[in-house]
Structure 1
Amino acid sequence: YSYLTIIQRCWTHLIREVDAFKSIAHGNDLSADIHAMFKELKESLKSENMDERKSMKIAFEKRMGELVERYDP
């Protein structure tokens, strides 16, 4: 389904896709950034404070947007 312009992907598919690009320029960096973000996201879900989780969600969405801009200008 990667032929669609804007879609929502699960983390498993996203990680699999970025790992496929490890051999091209900046592909390894992108993979490392996505893996690190996923690890942080999993940690953040341990919080039971919903206000904290909502603010973390906003922060992660912003960071994901920044990654897109960095690797796909």
Structure 2
Amino acid sequence: MIVVLIILGYIVIGIIEIVPLVKKNQKRELMLYSILFGVAFVISVLLGLGVKIPSPAKPIEKVVRMVIGK
């Protein structure tokens, strides 16, 4: 049931946010928004299904330490 609510919520938000981008012919913004929107949708559905998603904190920390050099 929760997955259905997530899907309905994303449809409503998508219509509200994507339609103005299409009308204004903002292709780059639409592409970026669609990618981020899709990633957020997939993560939300997985969480709604009870799938445990690993935290990105450790890989981000490793990258930062590599860049800083510590």
The higher radius of gyration belongs to: 2
TM range (shorter): 0.3 to 0.5
Normalising by structure 1, we get a TM-score of: 0.44
Larger relative helix fraction = 2
